[in-house]
Chains A and B, each alone.
Chain A
Amino acid sequence: MRFPEWLRGVSSLRDPRLRHAVLTLLLLATGGLLVLAAAAPALARHAKGAPVVLGGCAAASVLIAAGAVGGLLGGPDALDLPFGPPWGPARVAIDALSAWFLLILGLAGTAASIFALGSLHGPEAPRRLLPYPLFLAGMAVTLLAADGFTLLLGFEAMSLASWVLVAHEHEEEEANRRAARIYLGFAGFGGLSLMLAFGVLAGGAGDVAFAALREAPPDGWRAALVLALVLAGAGSKAGLAPLHVWLPLAHPAAPSHVSALMSGAMTKVAIYVLARFAFDLMGSAQPLWLGAPLVALGAASAVIGALRANLEEDIKTLLACSTIENVGLISIGLGLALAFRGADLPALAALAAGAALLHALNHAVFKTLLFLAAGEVLHGALSRRIDRLGGLIHRMPVTAWAALAGVAAAASLPPLSGFASEWLLLQALLASWRVGDLAFQMGAAAATALAALAAALAAAAMVRFWGLVFLGRPRTPRAAGAEEGGRLVQAALILPAALTVLFGLLPGVMLDLAEPALRLMTRAAAPRAGFVAIGAAEGGARYWPLLVALLLAAAVGAVVWAVRRRAPAGVARGPIWDCGFIAAPHHLPFGDPSSQPTASGFGQPLRRMLGTSLLAAREGVTMPPPGATAPAVLQSGFHDPALVALEGPVPRWRDAAAAQAERLRDLSIRQCLGLTFGAVVLMLALLAWLEAR
């Protein structure tokens, strides 16, 4: 018997009072966050106010994580709150699916809050302090909601609170204002799409309680419409292509702990909404093709995100692009699970859904870690640009080694957490031939190739990120004088780093913990593969992370031992061969920066290979005229086609529509009356037509 199962077998955990206690605990933590938000403006005036608010956020996040584990081990519970919208109570509930994502929120929130607490210096402005607890509370409400109204309330609170945080430095740079503007546009669009999705799903009855929605699952064009609206709404929040353009803009503008939460938790909340719709509210009798758009969009996001991560020169933008890639991989997993469920292959559906859930958790933990490390680099070396960093491992060892754990997981190297979930995902993709439909098989084969390409590109991006930032020599004096943060900051980095290693070594235990969620989504459990392993199927391929870790450790140990043994006694250190560098001039005490690879130089091969077609990358050399002493200039760049489309035709259409609407102002009185009359007659005609049907 395996660990979580054994724990579930303990009779006291089956007590319904415990389930009530778990839900009450989660609600109290959420309520506490709301109280903190309400008290933040008053507390911000006191010197001890900001630590109280951020410490309270950390405590509430720990409670949420604990409650989530309780929810996964215990069971579902629901409650009607004594208040709510005018037409009924606000309904909250916890089941395995929401508990899994609450665990993600709790872990990311804990690390981010501790980091924020540790990087406090002096008083904090209320407009930075107030939205943070509100942001956390909005995500918790979204996850706990059991009716459409409460879910949208939490979703919008989350969007707006994070918008305030993205816009916190709006007076300093035009880029921040643009990022906040685009972010707000996407937030409004997403909320509106989800509202329409609930409307279409509820139909004429208009009851948006989840229990009522489950009673009447949609079919045919209504199911397609609901899925399209949810993909537009939740997909734009999660960062699915082609609605991903806000991520690389908004993440650098937000404070680092908020970027960590946005990437680690908020995109996962959006994925939760997607999963809640696709696997729960829309019923289990959906056809095979429902998963196809998820797989296609996921594959596109994965490739675009990973490729952009190789080309960006700002570390937080780079990490945001890597988030797009990982959201794409999670979406592929969810789409495959939907397709397998539609093709009546429950075991494979559970495998794909397990890969998606596990990757959501792993990505949340390591991306939180990486954003916090980027924030610490920004704080220590005062820059986010790779070309102004370098050699930080000497000055910031804790940050560097913690970031290495995250980077290795993001590059999906065994035995870290990213490998386990991506391995499961590839196993699910490779098993997709068992769906009988030929078109789906072809599509899945293409998606497999794209997912593998994305994984390789992500590894290259992570090597570039860690290598250029932490290795080599400092490129600026400020980077050479970088300093490590305080104890709390280090703790906030070490906690997710340790979890990344732990989840990497024990993926089987985590998968067992997720089992009730998988049963809820696919009516089946993930395949079993023994205590410390995960497997693709009963008796199929397996992965033993502990064994891999031992083998790696043994190999490294053997190499070290052999080198030590073969080395002659009395080693003398000589000057390092400098590869023929000319000594740097005196005004550059830390070496000539141009003698190290630059961020764009490192990305050049990929930009030439893939960027020209996918990202409209261009390169041009301007030669000086013969005889002139000016240097030749190499210019290169790229842009995201989605952003170009968003900022090109869309504003043009908006302006044209506004110009047309402006003409209404010049109408005469009779024409205005005529418009009213026409509208009345049109409505009456519509009514007559509807009655005649």
Chain B
Amino acid sequence: MSFGQLGYDVAHLLGGGVLLLSFVLLYQRRIGAVINAFATQGTLLALAAAWQAHAQGAPGLYLTAVLAFAAKGVLIPLALHAIVRRLNLHRSVETALGVGLSMTAGVALVGLSILVVLPATEGARALAREDVALALSVVLLGMLMMITRRNAISQVIGLLSLENGLILAAIGVAGMPLVVELSTAALVLMVAVVAGVFAFQIRERFDTLDTGSLEEHRGEGR
């Protein structure tokens, strides 16, 4: 595969779409929209995995695609929507970085990951190189989202989108064993469950989802 070929272009397009949705996640302030953007990102990820399964001729990746779609495109967003409804957060607007600032930071991180990955993977296939660069950008943007948000739900979404980046890297590399992906998917589900429980507990105890309120209740040094 090389430039101008259909396989390359579609893979590139899907990876770029995942990255684009990371940017959306970064500046979106309404919680419902954040969850929707995350669901879209999961769906795109599933499409990318399916395309890779087709392009690499690896039927195992179809399973990955199905899992990703089911977990990240449908189940987790539905569960998050349910939480939001139960906690009555529809209308809440939360503080995040401004659009301009978050875009600038995001672009800088993407530039950094391209600068790191492209020289380091010389000799690998062009597709793999681009894919790894995109995946690293998604990971970094997920981390950035985790530290800029105050709401527990948004922080969980940041973590899950970070994990999307990892899956994106894994499907781009030929020959990744299926077991790794399955266990990663299971892990993500567990993380989502634990995070949901946590969100409820925080809300119940402190009447807010702002993780800043946890600081006052640390049991050390006070």
The reply on A691 being an interface residue by CB < 8 A is yes
Closest A residue to B139 using CB positions:
A680
Q: Which of B116, B143, B150, B212 has the most CB of A within 10 A?
A: B116
The reply on A677 being an interface residue by CB < 8 A is yes
The reply on A594 being an interface residue by CB < 8 A is no
Closest A residue to B118 using CB positions:
A691
The reply on A644 being an interface residue by CB < 8 A is no
Given A670-B150, A681-B112, A684-B112, are A692 and B221 neighbors across the interface (CB < 8 Å)?
Answer: no
Q: Which residues of chain A are within 8 angstroms of B144 by Cβ–Cβ distance?
A: 677
The reply on A629 being an interface residue by CB < 8 A is no
Binding-face segment, A144-152, A159-167, A661-669: A661-669
Within 8 A of B (CB), among A636-693: 665-666, 668-670, 673-674, 676-677, 680-681, 684-685, 687-688, 691-692
Q: Interface on B for A, CB 8 Å cutoff?
A: 109, 112-113, 115-116, 119-120, 140, 143-144, 146-147, 150, 211-212, 214-215, 220-221
* CA gap between A687 and B214 in the complex, in Å: 36
Closest B residue to A686 using CB positions:
B116
Told that A673-B143, A673-B147 touch, could you supply 15 new A-B pairs with CB distance under 8 A?
Answer: A668-B214, A669-B211, A670-B150, A670-B211, A674-B147, A676-B143, A677-B140, A677-B143, A677-B147, A680-B143, A684-B112, A685-B112, A688-B116, A691-B115, A691-B119
* CA gap between A692 and B220 in the complex, in Å: 45
Contact between A669 and B214, CB atoms less than 8 A apart: yes
Task: Flag A247-277 by CB within 8 Å of B: 1 or 0 each.
Answer: 0000000000000000000000000000000
Contact between A665 and B147, CB atoms less than 8 A apart: no
Residue A665 contacts which of B116, B143, B221 (CB distance < 8 angstroms)? B221
Given A673-B146, A674-B147, are A666 and B221 neighbors across the interface (CB < 8 Å)?
Answer: yes
Q: Which residues of chain B are within 8 angstroms of A691 by Cβ–Cβ distance?
A: 115-116, 119-120
Shortest distance between the CB of B123 and any CB in chain A (Å): 14
Q: Which residues of chain A are within 8 angstroms of B113 by Cβ–Cβ distance?
A: 684
Query: How would you classify the secondary structure of chain A's contact residues: helix, strand, loop or mixed?
Result: helix
Q: Which residues of chain B are within 8 angstroms of A674 by Cβ–Cβ distance?
A: 147
* CA gap between A668 and B150 in the complex, in Å: 11
Q: Interface on A for B, CB 8 Å cutoff?
A: 665-666, 668-670, 673-674, 676-677, 680-681, 684-685, 687-688, 691-692
Q: Which residues of chain A are within 8 angstroms of B120 by Cβ–Cβ distance?
A: 687, 691
* CA gap between A576 and B202 in the complex, in Å: 97
Q: Which residues of chain A are within 8 angstroms of B212 by Cβ–Cβ distance?
A: 668, 670
Closest A residue to B211 using CB positions:
A669
* CA gap between A180 and B143 in the complex, in Å: 47
Residue A684 contacts which of B116, B150, B211 (CB distance < 8 angstroms)? B116
Q: Which residues of chain B are within 8 angstroms of A676 by Cβ–Cβ distance?
A: 143
* CA gap between A674 and B146 in the complex, in Å: 9
Q: Which residues of chain A are within 8 angstroms of B119 by Cβ–Cβ distance?
A: 688, 691-692
Closest B residue to A689 using CB positions:
B115
Closest A residue to B109 using CB positions:
A681
6 contacts between A and B (CB under 8 A): A673-B147, A681-B109, A681-B112, A688-B112, A691-B120, A692-B115
Residue B215 contacts which of A668, A677, A680, A688 (CB distance < 8 angstroms)? A668
Q: Which of A668, A685, A692 has the most CB of B within 10 A?
A: A668
* CA gap between A593 and B214 in the complex, in Å: 73
Shortest distance between the CB of B118 and any CB in chain A (Å): 9
* CA gap between A484 and B140 in the complex, in Å: 78
Shortest distance between the CB of B34 and any CB in chain A (Å): 17
Q: Which residues of chain A are within 8 angstroms of B211 by Cβ–Cβ distance?
A: 668-670
Closest B residue to A668 using CB positions:
B215
Q: Which residues of chain A are within 8 angstroms of B143 by Cβ–Cβ distance?
A: 673, 676-677, 680
Q: Which residues of chain B are within 8 angstroms of A680 by Cβ–Cβ distance?
A: 140, 143
* CA gap between A685 and B111 in the complex, in Å: 10
* CA gap between A680 and B112 in the complex, in Å: 11
Q: Which residues of chain A are within 8 angstroms of B146 by Cβ–Cβ distance?
A: 670, 673, 677
Closest B residue to A667 using CB positions:
B215
Q: Which residues of chain B are within 8 angstroms of A685 by Cβ–Cβ distance?
A: 112
* CA gap between A681 and B150 in the complex, in Å: 21
Closest B residue to A662 using CB positions:
B221
Contact between A688 and B147, CB atoms less than 8 A apart: no
Closest A residue to B144 using CB positions:
A677
Given A665-B220, A668-B212, are A681 and B140 neighbors across the interface (CB < 8 Å)?
Answer: yes
* CA gap between A676 and B143 in the complex, in Å: 9
Q: Which of B147, B150, B212 has the most CB of A within 10 A?
A: B147
Closest A residue to B218 using CB positions:
A666
* CA gap between A666 and B212 in the complex, in Å: 12
* CA gap between A475 and B54 in the complex, in Å: 100
Q: Which residues of chain B are within 8 angstroms of A665 by Cβ–Cβ distance?
A: 220-221
Closest A residue to B108 using CB positions:
A681
Q: Which residues of chain B are within 8 angstroms of A670 by Cβ–Cβ distance?
A: 146-147, 150, 211-212
Shortest distance between the CB of A66 and any CB in chain B (Å): 58
* CA gap between A681 and B109 in the complex, in Å: 8
Shortest distance between the CB of A198 and any CB in chain B (Å): 29
Shortest distance between the CB of B28 and any CB in chain A (Å): 18
Q: Which residues of chain A are within 8 angstroms of B115 by Cβ–Cβ distance?
A: 688, 691-692
Closest B residue to A678 using CB positions:
B147
Shortest distance between the CB of B85 and any CB in chain A (Å): 26
Shortest distance between the CB of B213 and any CB in chain A (Å): 10
Given A665-B220, A668-B215, A669-B211, are A687 and B116 neighbors across the interface (CB < 8 Å)?
Answer: yes
Minimum-distance CB pairs A-B, first 7 = A688-B115, A691-B119, A674-B147, A673-B147, A688-B116, A677-B143, A668-B215
Q: Which residues of chain A are within 8 angstroms of B147 by Cβ–Cβ distance?
A: 670, 673-674, 677
